[in-house]
Amino acid sequence: MPDVRFCSRTVFLTALVLALAGTCASAQMRPGPPPPGAGPGGPPGRGPGGPPPRMAPPKPYKPVAVTPAQPYNDPSFEAFRKQLAEIASHKDRASLAKVVTTTFFWMGERGDKANKRKSGIENLAAAINLDGRDGAGWELLSAAASEPSLEAVPDRKGVMCSPASPAFDQQAAEQVAKATGTEPGDWGFPIKGAVDVHATAQPNSPVIEKLGSILVRVMPEGPPPGAQGNAPPQPGTTLVRIVTPAGKVGYVVDDALGSLDIDQLCFVKDATGWKITGYAGGDN
C-alpha cells in the first residue's frame, strides 16, 4: 500500500507553501464529517465515477487520543462570523466581495491555484463553486460562519484558517493506519469528545459501545439501491459505519464525527477587521 502519512491541515498548508508536495501527498481536505456514502466530507476515493477502492477488513487497533480544537477567543472574529452568516443566508455576492482580500490564495496539492489576474471574489467563487446551481458554495460559507476554531498558518503571517485541526500523536496515528491497512481519509474523531456506537444503521438501534476522544476508523458503505437522485438526508438522521478499537463494526450518527480530511477557509485581520484571504483544498 502507499506510504501513509497523517498530516494536519496546517502541516498540509505549510507543505504547499514550501512546495514540498511529497510531504503530505495523501492529504486531501474536504468539508464536513464522513458520511456513509460518497459526497462532501467522505474519505478520498469514495466519490462517483467508478467503483470504490477495496477496503481493508476490520481489525482491532490501538486507540489514539484526540483533543478537539477549541474556539478562537476573539469577539471580533465572532462578530465577523455573524456577518458572514448573514451574507451567506442572503447569497449577497456584492457584500461578500467586500470581505475578500485582493491577495486571495487557493492552495491545492500542486500549489496556489488562484488566478492572479482575477479579483479576490472571483478566485473565491472558483474555489468553492459559489456560482453552482446547487448552492454548495453558499452552504460552505454558512458552515464556515458557524465554525469558531482557527489555527495559524506557518509562513503566512497573520493568516488563520478554519476549522482548526484536532491535536493527536501523528506518529502513533500513522502506525495504527499502517497496522490496519488504512489511510488518513479512513479516520475521523468524535466532535464532542464521545460518541455512541449503534448496532445497526438505525438511530434508534441499541447502543453497543461508547467511544471517547480517540481516532475512529470510518468504513463507509455505499448508498442504498435507488438512492441516486433523492434529496440528501438531513444531518443526524443517517449513520456511518465505523470500526471500534476492539475490531467490532458498528454505526455512528454522521454528524457526530469530524474528518481529518477537510477543506479550510482562511482569514486575516487588518485595520478594517476580518476578511477572507484564502482557501485550502478543492482539488477534486
Q: What parts of the chain have a pLDDT lower than 70?
A: 1-53, 222-237, 283-284
- Whether residue 28 contacts residue 284, with contact meaning beta carbons closer than 8 Å, is answered with yes
Domain shared by 219 and 251, yes or no: yes
Q: Which stretches of the chain are DSSP H helices?
A: 9-17, 75-90, 93-98, 120-128, 136-145, 170-180
Regarding whether 53 and 128 lie in a shared domain, the answer is: no
Q: Give pLDDT tens digits for 171-181.
A: 999 999 999 99
* Residue-averaged pLDDT of the chain: 80
Which DSSP string do the residues of 207-230 spell out, in sequence order? EEEEE-SB-EEE-PPPPPTT-TTS
pTM of this structure = 0.73
What is the domain-level CATH number for residue 207?
2.30.30.40
Alpha carbon of residue 147 to chain centroid: 12
Q: Is residue 65 part of a domain?
A: yes
Q: Please report, for the domain that includes residue 275, its CATH number.
A: 3.10.450
In a domain, 124, yes or no: yes
Q: How far apart, in whole angstroms, are the C-alpha atoms of residue 71 and residue 74?
A: 9
What pLDDT is recorded for position 223?
54
Domain that residue 188 falls in = 33-69+170-259
Same domain, 129 and 79: yes
Query: 102 and 157 share a domain?
Result: yes
pLDDT of residue 159: 96
Q: Looking at the domain assignment, is residue 132 inside a domain?
A: yes
| 15 part of a folded domain | no
Pair 124, 44 in one domain: no
Residue 114 sits in the same domain as residue 56: no
Q: Is 244 exposed, middle or buried (0-12, 13-18, 19+ CB in 10 A)?
A: buried
Same domain, 222 and 245: yes
Query: 193 in a domain, yes or no?
Result: yes
Residue 251 lies in a domain: yes
What is the 8-class DSSP label of residue 75? H
Percent of the chain scored above 70 by pLDDT?
75
What is the rounded distance in angstroms from the CA atom of residue 83 to the CA atom of residue 134? 22
Q: Are residues 82 and 52 in the same domain?
A: no
**Buried-state track 65-99, b at ≥16 Cβ within 10 A, e below 16:** ebebbeebeeeebeebbeebbebbeeeeeeebeeb
- Residue 136 belongs to some domain of the structure: yes
- Over residues 90-101, the pLDDT tens digits come to 999 999 999 999
pLDDT of residue 156: 87
pLDDT at 222: 60
pLDDT value at position 283?
A: 60
Model confidence pLDDT, tens digit, residues 182-239: 988 899 999 887 899 999 999 999 999 999 999 999 998 865 444 444 444 444 568 9
Same-domain pairing of 198 and 266:
no
Statement to judge: residues 103 and 114 lie in one domain: yes
Q: Do 120 and 248 belong to one domain? A: no
Tell me if 266 is assigned to some domain: yes
Domain count for the chain, please give it: 2
Same-domain status, 122 and 193: no
